[in-house]
A and B are shown apart, each in its own frame.
Chain A
Amino acid sequence: QAVVTQEPSLTVSPGGTVTLTCGSSTGAVTSGHYPYWFQQKPGQAPRTLIHDISNKHSWTPARFSGSLLGGKAALTLSGAQPEDEAEYYCLLFQSGVVVFGGGTKLTVL
């Protein structure tokens, strides 16, 4: 089974910009992987932020955006807020199987 890789941890300053990435052990991430991004805060269920590379839900703050960047899926947070401190998971659909990345712990400091 393919492995989905994420940065274990990242730190961003309040008001700053940070990009989280999501890679596949099988090669470049494409639209066919239907990349998703989820946010999970301690003690809470995950919440979908981005689906299919760059599509937002009604509840997704405008400061979050998704893209493909350098063969990976990317989640960019522009203008970080203290409430954005959380674990972020990506998901790829690979060979008929849904695979989550290991998660990125984002600290806003």
Chain B
Amino acid sequence: EVQLLESGGDLVQPGESLRLSCAASGFTFSSYGMSWVRQAPGKGLEWVSAISGSGGSTYYADSVKGRFTISRDSSKNTLYLQMNSLRADDTAVYYCAKGLGPSAIIPDNWGLGTLVTVSS
């Protein structure tokens, strides 16, 4: 059974940094693309970033490009999202998701999410 467990969400001030983690189990981690999707309070879903199974290809939404970095560690079966220069509009629940294949950047299996709040 695929399990994705996000962690690292916190309350931070504008301009600060935060790193989210997603521990994966139940599948061969390096064989699947992974992505991050966020949802601001009371709002819809927004795709944030994705990474191929090998880690060789990364993709970002324009809203986070240059501030966020996605990475993965196959030895730890863990996906990361390094978030720098955080802004109030980055406040959201961040979901980790697994794709359907090694190059799949579309979220398919979802974690439960972790809340990031950016506020002074």
Flag whether B59 is at the interface (Cβ < 8 A).
yes
Question: Secondary structure of the A side of the interface?
Answer: strand
Flag whether A3 is at the interface (Cβ < 8 A).
no
A36 vs B44: C-alpha distance when bound (angstroms): 15
Flag whether B86 is at the interface (Cβ < 8 A).
no
Number of A interface residues at 8 Å Cβ cutoff, please give it: 21
Contact flag A93-B106 (CB < 8 Å), given A46-B95, A98-B35, A98-B50? yes
Flag whether B113 is at the interface (Cβ < 8 A).
yes
Which of B46, B59, B107, B111 has the most chain A CB within a 10 Å cutoff?
B107
A48 vs B45: C-alpha distance when bound (angstroms): 13
Residues of B within 8 A of A99 (CB): 47
Q: Which residues of B contact A (CB under 8 A)?
A: 35, 37, 44-47, 50, 59, 61-62, 95, 100, 105-113
Q: Give 8 CB contacts A-B under 8 Å.
A: A36-B108, A45-B95, A45-B111, A46-B107, A97-B61, A98-B35, A99-B47, A100-B46
The 9 closest A-B pairs by CB, nearest first: A98-B47, A100-B45, A45-B110, A103-B44, A48-B108, A102-B44, A45-B112, A89-B45, A46-B110
